[in-house]
Amino acid sequence: MRRLHAIVATIGIILAALIAWSWATHDRFRSTTDRLLLLVPDDISFSNPKVAMWLDAGSEEGLHVVPVHDSEFLRPLWGESKCAGLILPDSIHQQASDLFVATLHQFVADGGKLMLVYDAGTFSLNGTYASGSSRLSDLAGVNYALYNQLGDKTIQWSKVTSTNAIVSQLEIPPGKYYPFHAADAASVPKGGAPIPAGGAFEVELRRYMYGDLQYPSFVTSGNYSGKVLFQYNNGLVAGQQSYQKGSVLFVNLPLGYLKGSTDGLLLHAFLKYFGRHALSLPYLMPVPDGVGGLVLNWHIDSNAAIKPLQEISSWTLLQQGPYSIHITAGPDAGKFGDKKGFDVDHNPISDDLIRKYMGLGYEIGSHGGWIHDYFPRTSKPIIQKTSNSFWP
């Protein structure tokens, strides 16, 4: 009898644990129509830094991004969950089973909205590219991940171009892009993505003051019938197209990788575009009632800032802080020995200005190391290769 009681008690404990787990899962996976589900492989924790980057970015943009393991997407315990859309992220979701790919197709065909990013789902479960092109090429609207055809040229670095209207819609700030003459643009890229009606793409993404900026993207082929957002010489970089009853925002850029490498602008920009423009979702503003105030953050790069700083020292604006100031503190600005730096250690004017702003309660921080221009002029991208994969 005691043994029977013990067995019953054990079963009761197990059932209680299962019920608690089920309700915890149900609460996180419950049906709310404003959610963006971030699909994560079962063997990756939601606390993984690569997952956390997406969740943090969604939170910062006021969007309801919720991580969901693949098994919950394929076989939801509580029935099909309602959501605004799915996000299939780069880097953490390179591998995908045939069942997962088929379920994703069915989701979009039935009216679902998908944000498909870069290398997501390009590998089979054994870690190799699919034969021919990505199994998600029809969802993307172009053929990509053409490893059998291109080998280690499957991914290439190139300038990325767009239109003034698109960069404005994605809220990309001036300085991150730069206009060029339409005559300088190729009429049609090799991948066949068409120039939009109304003229050639007239702006390209740039490094602030340092010229060309190149991003890695899969070479694409085929004519794209959707709305082109970004393109480059080797094809489509980003676009949105209809797929049966649903739609797909394809972003042929490693957004998560770039975010982890200090360039988070595009991840935020495309999250906002997907949530606010593609899906018309409500979002939380970062300030009460959406009414903003003045945010002042100075970047002091060299001693060229000393005279303007002295000039504005009498402005009442300075009393309305506290603000933040980031300073490149070394004696040089562009190269060793040019003596154009702010030179905090030896310039009494620089020292006095900093002490004044500290007295006003400002936050003083470091900007760009010791020589402002040295790092961007000498840094180079690093590409990793394996026998059957290729990514930045």
For residue range 136-192, what is the model confidence (pLDDT) as tens digits? 999 999 999 999 999 999 999 999 999 989 998 998 988 888 886 444 444 444 444
Amino acid of residue 354: I
* Residue 14, pLDDT score: 55
Domains of the chain in start order, with CATH, are: 32-144+152-286 (3.40.50.880), 294-377 (no CATH)
Cα(179)–Cα(205) distance, rounded to whole angstroms? 9
| Mean pLDDT, residues 344-363 taken together | 89
Strand (E) or helix (H) holding 99:
helix 98-109
Is the separation of the CB atoms in 239 and 278 below 8 Å?
A: no
Q: Output 47-50 pairs: Cβ under 8 A, ≥24 positions apart.
A: 48/92, 49/260, 50/89, 50/91, 50/92, 50/256, 50/260
Cα(106)–Cα(137) distance, rounded to whole angstroms? 14
* Residue 229, pLDDT score: 95
Closest CA to 375 of 363, 385, 366: 366
Tell me which DSSP letter residue 292 carries.
Answer: -
This model's pTM is above 0.85: no
Is the separation of the CB atoms in 179 and 164 below 8 Å?
A: yes
- 67: which 2 tokens? 């991580």
Local structure of 295: helix, strand or coil? coil
Residue, of 143 and 363, whose pLDDT is higher: 143
Local structure of 222: helix, strand or coil? coil
Amino acid of residue 286: P
Cα(313)–Cα(222) distance, rounded to whole angstroms? 59
Cα(125)–Cα(378) distance, rounded to whole angstroms? 39
pLDDT surpassing 70 at residue 17: no
Measure the CA angle with vertex 391, ends 389 and 392; round to 5°.
Answer: 155
